[in-house]
Amino acid sequence: MNNAVTIKQVDDKQALLEFVEFPFKLYKHDSNWVPPFIRERLEFFDVKKNPFYEHARYRLFLAYRNGDLAGTIGAVVDDNHNQAHNERCGAFGFFECINDQEVAGSLLNRAEDWIRGQGMTLIRGPLNFSVNHECGLLIDGFDEPPMVMMTYNPRYYQQLINHCGYQKKVDLFAYIGNIDELWENAPASLFRIAENVAEREGIRVRTLDLRDMNRENLRIREVYNRSFGKQWGFVPMNEKECEYFSELTRKLADPNLILIAENQAGEAVGVSLALPDFHQALRRSGGGRLFPFGLLKFLWYLRKVDQIRLIAMGVLEQYRNRGIDAIFWVETARAARAHGYKRLECSWVLEENEMMNTLGRTLRGKIYKTYQILEKRLSTP
């Protein structure tokens, strides 16, 4: 019997559908996996619809063992990343694989070959396909599903990838806490800081104005890009990407959880972005096809979402260490409690991010999931 692994490049709609649907087979018996909507995944890879590809190029590959689909991987080169960080780096993502070292090695080798052929000297991942999208290999915290825009994978992925010569680049933490407990256990000084900053610095924090989304998107993008500009791996979002993300989340976002800090002149100096965990609704509805009943089931379960993920909290450099982060946390927790949310995840937090890790410890949050970005130097041909 021929047990050879064969690799096929995705080059038509049928192969792309196989690529997108493979995780449904792989995770069929894993209750913690969150199934996506197939149409959303297909549109993500559409270069005509996703503005990310205006500055990035990619290839997708399928692995077969004995004629059966056994794994997937994507390879990408993001020119904006390389320009921002002065690197020649590509990335792998959408890595899904049966527990088979040969299959994993064949997939990674194919991604490496393509990235090397693009003139790159380094590969990093998992990134789907950027730090502005889902990223990270789950290495600890497999006992419950991931929250919105966070990844999930089997335990054995770490061994498969490490065996192919990949080493840790950075760890990413996810903090979790019961919102009522976080509120009650927060030190009184945190609330005093929030009150004093508003009074002393003239800082006003307000919620998202849905009536003026064009200008709100511009404010959020400017602060987001400027405040995270020096963070490891950060890639600025352009206007089209910001609009694309906003459109994806607009109908699901809770404007009470998106906060903008303004100075006395009305200029935005900080943003805090939290989303309801609509992974809860996706998991209960089963994801997959939107029609005829997928969307209706999702919208039904969306009403039952009771946890949120704090995705980003950024403050312009000249306004840091003034306590704006305290205001953001207090107002996010206040809004979450008022609207019936029970749990809050803060993620992802770089292991070197002192401000956010200190805030997590101050609030007695627990690191309940750890993700890892790995990398490998590519040999020259």
- Take residue 321 and report the two structure tokens written for it: 């260490």
For the segment 58-75, the average pLDDT, to the nearest whole number, is 97
Does residue 185 have a pLDDT over 90? no
For the segment 347-376, the average pLDDT, to the nearest whole number, is 88
Mean confidence (pLDDT) of the chain: 91
Q: Which residue did the predictor score with more confidence, 201 or 344? A: 344
Letter string b/e over residues 276-297, b meaning 16 or more CB atoms within 10 A of that residue's CB: bbbbbbbbbbebeeeeeebeeb
Q: Are 92 and 108 in contact (CB under 8 A)?
A: yes
Architecture of domain 5-172: 3-Layer(aba) Sandwich (3.40)
What pLDDT shows up at residue 99?
A: 97
Could you tell me the pTM of the whole model?
0.92
The highest-confidence range among 178-187, 269-278, 280-289, by mean pLDDT, is: 269-278
What is the distance between the alpha carbons of residues 356 and 350, in angstroms, rounded to a whole number?
8
- The structure tokens 């800090």 sit at 261
109 Cβ neighbours under 8 A, 6+ residues apart: 164
What is the distance between the alpha carbons of residues 314 and 299, in angstroms, rounded to a whole number?
31
Does residue 89 have a pLDDT over 60? yes
For the segment 85-97, the average pLDDT, to the nearest whole number, is 96
What pLDDT shows up at residue 343?
A: 96
Could you tell me the CA-to-CA distances from 235 to 224, 248, 349 in Å, in that order? 10, 19, 16
Does residue 377 have a pLDDT over 60? yes
What pLDDT shows up at residue 293?
A: 77
Residue spans per domain, the chain:
5-172, 176-370
- The structure tokens 């100075």 sit at 263
The domain covering 176-370 belongs, at the CATH homologous superfamily level, to: Gcn5-related N-acetyltransferase (GNAT) (3.40.630.30)
pLDDT digits (tens, 9 = 90+) for 217-229: 889 999 999 988 7
Out of 44-48, 194-198, 200-204, 329-333, least confident range:
194-198
What is the distance between the alpha carbons of residues 344 and 274, in angstroms, rounded to a whole number?
9
Cα radius of gyration rounded to whole Å, the chain: 21
Q: pLDDT-derived band of residue 184, with 50, 70 and 90 as boundaries?
A: confident
Does residue 320 have a pLDDT over 70? yes
For the segment 185-193, the average pLDDT, to the nearest whole number, is 83
Out of 53-57, 155-159, 300-304, 340-344, least confident range:
300-304
Q: In CATH terms, are 5-172 and 176-370 the same topology?
A: yes
Q: pLDDT-derived band of residue 215, with 50, 70 and 90 as boundaries?
A: confident
What pLDDT shows up at residue 1?
A: 42
Residue 77 CA to chain centroid, in angstroms? Answer: 18
Q: Which residue did the predictor score with more confidence, 334 or 212? A: 334
What pLDDT shows up at residue 252?
A: 79
Q: Which residue did the predictor score with more confidence, 57 or 190? A: 57
pLDDT digits (tens, 9 = 90+) for 245-280: 777 677 778 989 999 999 988 899 999 999 999 999
Does residue 60 have a pLDDT over 90? yes
What is the distance between the alpha carbons of residues 148 and 19, in angstroms, rounded to a whole number?
21
